[in-house]
Structure 1
Amino acid sequence: MSLESPVLDATDHLLLQMLERDAHLTHARLAEPLHLSPSAVSRRVQRLEAAGAILGYGARINPQVSGKTTLAFIEIRLASQREAVLEEFERAVQACPAVCECHLMTGEADYLLRVAVADTADYERVYRKHIAALPHVVSIKSAFAMRSLKMP
């Protein structure tokens, strides 16, 4: 990934929006609304990948199929904001398979985690085995999503 942010023009931004909505679009299909040739789109995509603007490609999995229908949002407060404490916590979170997202936050919580689990019993297992075992944690607050309206 490039150390500097790539300079993006309006076409790059539109291309990124289209890919974010559907990464399976062919270069020919992307080219139409951008008024470019497929080869020009291919070059732009390669440049955006090389510059680190595109971090990767993935699939959104239906929670009903994966069995992970319950989302928990967990606010974590740490004992300290020292660099070593943050790094140790972040390494431990990276090793926790149930954590889908982890964000360093402003405000009362130091981190916000998004965890996908099958149900509350599965959450209890994840909580006991992984979340409560995270280093330097002084406070944990959990909230469950009742319904998801818009997801990445």
Structure 2
Amino acid sequence: MVLDEIDRRILEALRRNARASHVELAAQVGLSASACARRIRILEHEGVIRGYTTIRDVSAAKARRPVFIQVKLATPNAESMRKFENAARKCEEVRECFLMTGEADYLLRIEIDGLDDFESVHAEVLSRLPGVSGMLSSFTIRSVFSYL
């Protein structure tokens, strides 16, 4: 699907506030509410918009903390990558998984309650993923901003 300027403005407005009504979005992008709603339905149908989510402030009390983990596979061939991705997809702790260029083969984002939780996830989940030869974990200090 080729996005035009209005589609991009709709997506930007939704990125800022996905809870805005079609009337509010339409006013921001210069459409009628019905035309805006129709375009949003098309964007959803075409998979440009895959869903809507809530973003928690990681600095808030009791919020789970994100940890980013670079993963290196022993043999990054098609079969080992397929096995790793299927296993990572089944791990409830893994919130996002990216195939990467550079030193790491994958970048995972997990969420933890604290260091004890990370130790458990590392020992019982991450270290058991198939084909992993090394991991490098980076803990967040605070969120500066997020456009999710």
TM-score if structure 1 supplies the norm length? 0.90
How far apart, CA to CA, are the structure 2 residues paired with 1:135 and 1:51? Answer: 33
Instruction: Assess if the C-alpha contact under 8 Å between 2:26 and 2:33 holds in 1.
Output: yes
Deviations 1:110-139 (A, max 9, x none): 001111101111100110110000000001
Match of 2:84 among 85, 89, 92: 89
Residue identity opposite 2:45 in structure 1 = A
The structure-2 alpha-carbon separation of the partners of 1:117 and 1:52, relative to structure 1 and needing over 3 Å to count, comes to: same
Other-structure match for 2:141: 146
The amino acid that maps onto 2:93 is A
- Paired with 2:61 and 2:93, the residues of 1 have a C-alpha distance of 16
Give per-residue Cα distances to partners, 1:44-84, cap 9 Å, x unaligned: 1111111111111111134436641x221111100112111
Whole-Å separation in 2 of the counterparts to 1:115 and 1:65: 18
The reply to whether residue 98 of structure 1 matches residue 93 of structure 2 is yes
**Residue type of the alignment partner of 2:100:** M
Could you tell me the percent identity over the aligned residues?
38
Cα distance in 2 for residues equivalent to 1:27 and 1:37: 9
Classify the secondary structure of the residue corresponding to 2:135.
Answer: strand
Structure 1 residues 131 and 49: alpha-carbon distance in aligned structure 2, compared to 1, 3 A threshold: same
Aligned partner of 1:17 in structure 2 is 12
| Cα RMSD, aligned residues only | 1.3
CA contact (8 A) 2:13 2:28 kept: no
Provide the TM-score with structure 2 as the length reference: 0.93
Q: Which residue of 101, 104, 111 corresponds with 2:106?
A: 111
| Cα deviations by residue, 1:19-51 (Å, 9 ceiling, x for unpaired) | 112111111001112221100101111111111
Aligned counterpart for 1:60 among listed residues 55, 61, 77: 55
Gaps of 5+ in 2: none
The amino acid across from 1:148 in the alignment is S
CA contact (8 A) 2:18 2:52 kept: yes
**Distance in 1 separating the partners of 2:87 and 2:112:** 19
Count of matched residue positions in the alignment of Structure 1 and Structure 2: 146
Which AA in structure 2 matches 1:130?
Answer: V
Unpaired runs of 5+ residues, structure 1, are: 1-5
Structure 1 segments, 4+ long, off by >3 Å, are 62-67
2:37 counterpart residue number = 42
